[in-house]
Amino acid sequence: MENKVVDLLKEKARQIRRDIVTMLAEAGSGHPAGSLGMADVFTALYFNVINHNPKKPADPNRDRLILSCGHICPAQYAAMANAGYFQKKELMTLRKINSRLQGHPHRNSIPGIENSSGPLGQGLSVAAGIAKALKMDNNKARVYCITSDGENEEGQAWESYLFAAKNKLDNITYILDRNHIQIDGPTDDVMPSLEPMKEKYEAFNLNVIEIDGNDMRQILDALEKSKTAKGNPTMIIAHTIPGKGVSFFENDYKWHGKTPDKELAEKALKELGA
């Protein structure tokens, strides 16, 4: 990957982070930590990796992006707006009455949203089902499913991996946001038995790649490798910094579901180069 492309994607991710902070401050509620932490992944997907066209969001040959941990939808909304799915000014309607941009996305609210999310774990099964259907139709499109470490405390996640591995769904790439936090505290305190994650996914016959989820080049390389994996689904464990880009958000689980006031938002935007 050329340095120029990587640099452009990094700058796009910074813009998406600025949009996330602005829309969350306007809404007065939402989830900044995971949204900011996964901004690099969403940027790589929407602006370099997935086959999609905002003008043809229902193209049957499009790649599908499934967001299972729906609470980080501000990152997806911001990426979609920047990609041209809708006007950026609509980001300021996040979580407001009658807005298309609710706190957890629902299918068909906006062209390009592939699944409804909220109950954790369900998106993983939806992704596996779509991947199986694409195989049955001999459709070469791929499925990308974003999930969180806290979400993988749910049994449904592991059932979906069993299904995907059994059916040799090598057309699906899972991307796990391994940021070590959830709403009640660090994941290592809430459910310490998550680890060893890599070995567990391998035991479920997944092809596992571990990366720094805030390193654009590593993200792009891992996603490219996942396209060539044969026989098994791929799990990318993306180690991210929750609240990435804003020093007083980073690595503090309290910002999982707390939004900044106007003063803090302005401070955060300055750190993000606004």
pLDDT at position 193 is 86
Is 79 strand, coil or helix?
helix
pLDDT tens-digit map of 11-51? 999 999 999 999 999 999 999 999 999 999 999 999 999 99
For residue 244, how many other CB atoms are within 10 A of its CB? Answer: 22
- Cβ-count burial of 122 within 10 angstroms (0-12 exposed, 13-18 middle, 19+ buried)? buried
- In this prediction, the residues of the chain whose per-residue pLDDT falls under 70 are none
Q: How far apart are CA 19 and CA 93, in angstroms?
A: 12
Domains located in the chain, CATH noted: 3-271 (3.40.50.970)
Paired strand residues for 64:
143
pLDDT at 57: 97
Give the pLDDT of residue 108.
85
Nearest to 26 by CA among 82, 75, 86, 89: 89
Distances (CA, A) of 137 to 51, 115, 233: 18, 20, 18
Give the Å distances, CA to CA, from 141 to 21, 130, 136, 186, 264. 33, 10, 12, 36, 42
pTM greater than the 0.85 cutoff: yes
Handedness of CA 76, 79, 83, 88 (dihedral sign): positive
**Token match 């939402």: residue?**
30
Pull the structure tokens for residue 258: 């707390």
Q: Are residues 214 and 250 in contact, defined by beta-carbon separation less than 8 angstroms?
A: no
